[in-house]
């Protein structure tokens, strides 16, 4: 596991035993020139069953990443605009209740 604050988070997960189906999840934050942050999410799969699941992994993992990235961007934009404070959604923003 790597946790480099404001730069990178990564961990390695295993299905049942190491070497059968392993996935390393990696999130990186890269500063953009002129301000802002570029978020990169990826996963690297290894193990003896990975070749058998490759097409399913490509499709399903990509869809999950796209959904998470969209939600993360929406949340970051809402926080930057003041619609979300301290990581919780204001009751008036988008008709949702705040976290309690």
C-alpha atoms less than 13 angstroms from C-alpha of 57 in its C-beta half-sphere: 15
Query: What whole-number distance in Å separates Cα of residue 13 and Cα of residue 24?
Result: 6
pLDDT digits (tens, 9 = 90+) for 71-90: 999 998 898 888 877 656 55
pLDDT at residue 91 tops 80: no
Query: What whole-number distance in Å separates Cα of residue 18 and Cα of residue 5?
Result: 27
pLDDT digits (tens, 9 = 90+) for 14-34: 999 999 999 999 999 999 999
User: Residue 76's pLDDT is what?
Assistant: 87
Give percent of the chain with pLDDT exceeding 90. 56
pLDDT at residue 99 tops 70: no
27 strand-pairing partners = 9, 41
């Amino acid at each position: 596991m790597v946790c480099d604050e404001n730069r990178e988070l990564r961990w390695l997960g295993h299905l049942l035993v190491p070497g059968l189906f392993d996935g390393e999840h990696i999130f990186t934050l890269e500063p953009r020139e002129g301000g802002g942050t570029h978020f990169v999410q990826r996963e690297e799969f290894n193990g003896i069953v990975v070749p058998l699941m490759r097409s399913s992994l490509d499709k399903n993992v990509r869809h999950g990443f796209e959904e998470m990235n969209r939600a993360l961007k929406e949340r970051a934009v809402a926080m930057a605009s003041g619609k979300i404070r301290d990581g919780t959604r204001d009751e008036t923003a988008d008709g949702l209740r705040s976290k309690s």
